[in-house]
Amino acid sequence: MPKNKRMGECIYCRKFGEITDDHIPPTNLFPKPKPSNLITVPSCKKCNSESSKDDEYFRMVISMRHDTFEHPEVIKNRHKILRSFQRPNKKGLLNLLAKNLSTVDLYSQGGIYLGKTGACNVDMKRVNAVIKRITLGLFYKEKGRGLPDSYLPYVYCISDVKKLLQNPVKEILASTFQGKVISIGNEIFKYWYKTVSDEENCISLILSFYNRVNFFAFTLPKEKL
């Protein structure tokens, strides 16, 4: 007999219909054996399938950085990443990687020239799309409901937050690190969570991948930014 369809509201498009589980963050980041505390949220099949290419791109980008490349969990996952490039339907991703490769000068933190290294121009629009989905998913995980339509998630690389260093932003960042912290896998993903002031729909998040790649995310009413 066919399984009963699960019906509910997709946390992304907010439409009611048949739903499936979406992993937050993408499950492709985690090598086997998978952690026991993976987060799943309700998603329609359309939203779930449409995000798969961005999930693949995100894994590739954060796994090929100079500061994550030799991380033990990245090494465990590397054969899956390389194998994925061999699939016919992944040729577009491989061509995109090749087209965006370049050579740059590498310096130590102390400013010592270390030579040339490979670099890749990253499509931050696609990266941010994944982080926004994670933000919506974690809102659901923490609140037990989807983010209202009148609110939006906003995300920044931690290095980009320096451009926003107004006192309120610095205070929110500092207070977020004082909030609840959840870790999934061996340093693969960690997040700090805090509700901002008395507004139940405004949350702030620090998202960390491999303890190296970090993002600041928060939710605000659409008219605020």
The answer, yes or no, to whether residue 41 has pLDDT greater than 90, is: yes
The answer, yes or no, to whether residue 7 has pLDDT greater than 90, is: yes
Place of tokens 């939203």: 47
| Domain-embedded: residue 132 | no
Rounded Cα distance between 27 and 13, Å, is: 21
Q: Which of 120, 155, 177 is the last residue of a domain?
A: 120
**Can you give the pTM of this predicted structure?**
0.83
Q: What is the pLDDT of residues 92-133, one digit of tens each?
A: 555 655 555 556 566 666 677 666 665 567 888 999 999 999
Instruction: Give the structural domain span for 72.
Output: 7-120
Calculate the average pLDDT of the chain: 84
| Domain-embedded: residue 113 | yes
Which residues sit opposite 207 in a β-bridge? 191, 215
Number of domains forming the structure of the chain: 2
At 66 the pLDDT is 80
At 137 the pLDDT is 97
| Domain-embedded: residue 128 | no
- 111 in the same domain as 17: yes
Q: Which of 90, 120, 150 is the last residue of a domain?
A: 120
| Domain-embedded: residue 136 | no
Instruction: Determine how many CB atoms are found less than 10 A away from the CB of residue 8.
Output: 13
The answer, yes or no, to whether residue 89 has pLDDT greater than 90, is: no
At 126 the pLDDT is 92
At 44 the pLDDT is 96
- 21 in the same domain as 65: yes
The answer, yes or no, to whether residue 168 has pLDDT greater than 70, is: no
Rounded Cα distance between 159 and 212, Å, is: 11
- 147 in the same domain as 61: no
At 134 the pLDDT is 98
| Domain-embedded: residue 33 | yes
Q: Which of 55, 85, 120 is the last residue of a domain?
A: 120
| Most confident by average pLDDT, 48-52, 77-81, 160-164, 166-170 | 48-52
Q: Which range among 35-39, 58-62, 90-94 shows the weakest confidence by mean pLDDT?
A: 90-94
- 113 in the same domain as 35: yes
